[in-house]
Amino acid sequence: MELSNMQPHKARGIAPAGNIVGVLDFLRELVEEPFPFARLSEWQIVGLEEVLFAARPQEAEVAADIHRRLNRAASHLDNRPLGIIQVVFSGEIVRGADLTVKYRGTALPIHLIFNHPPVQHDSNGNPFYPMEFHLSSP
């Protein structure tokens, strides 16, 4: 979801999850034993666009690696479910032939991580893209 569609940036925006974690920290924690996240806790994951932007020109390879890591963690998350997980982008999410995020004038390939989830809207018209951790191959 886009940061601009969340509270407090938008008065009737989507309420942010209570815990914030960077994407690299989140990925690292997913493989830890014991599992570090409390059952049904809510998390806001930030920084994905910065990671992909910094990886240029290998952003596609990094995105595919993030996809693989999330896919490997899916069984852990099924056994110890978290509540809401919000992946928050400071850039604009663009849905075209491929799902991208526009960040610093660059279209970054988030479809390689999340595939092509359908856009939905909450009761206030805020767009979001629901997805599961069992991600099929892009």
What is the tens place of the pLDDT at every residue in 88-119? 999 999 998 999 999 999 999 999 999 989 99
137: pLDDT strictly greater than 60: no
- Predicted confidence band at 127 (pLDDT cuts at 50, 70, 90)? very high
pLDDT of residue 64: 96
10, pLDDT greater than 90: yes
* Residues 11-70 pLDDT 10s: 999 999 999 999 999 999 888 877 788 888 899 999 999 999 999 999 999 999 999 998
Q: Return the SS3 of 58.
A: coil
The answer to whether residue 76 scores a pLDDT higher than 80 is: no
H helices present in 55-136, as ranges = 59-79, 111-114
Please report which confidence band the pLDDT of residue 9 belongs to, taking 50, 70 and 90 as the band edges.
very high
Per-residue b/e over 43-82, b at no fewer than 16 CB within 10 Å?
bbbbbbbbbbbebeeebeebbbebbeebeebeebbeeeeb
Residue 135 predicted with pLDDT over 90: no
- Alpha carbon distance 103, 118 (integer Å): 21
Among residues of the chain, what percentage have pLDDT more than 70? 91
pLDDT of residue 81: 67
pLDDT of 33: 74
Give the separation between CA 101 and CA 124, rounded to whole angstroms. 22
Q: For residues 96 and 67, give the distance between their C-alpha atoms in angstroms, rounded to a whole number.
A: 20
User: Is-contact 49 71, C-beta < 8 A?
Assistant: no
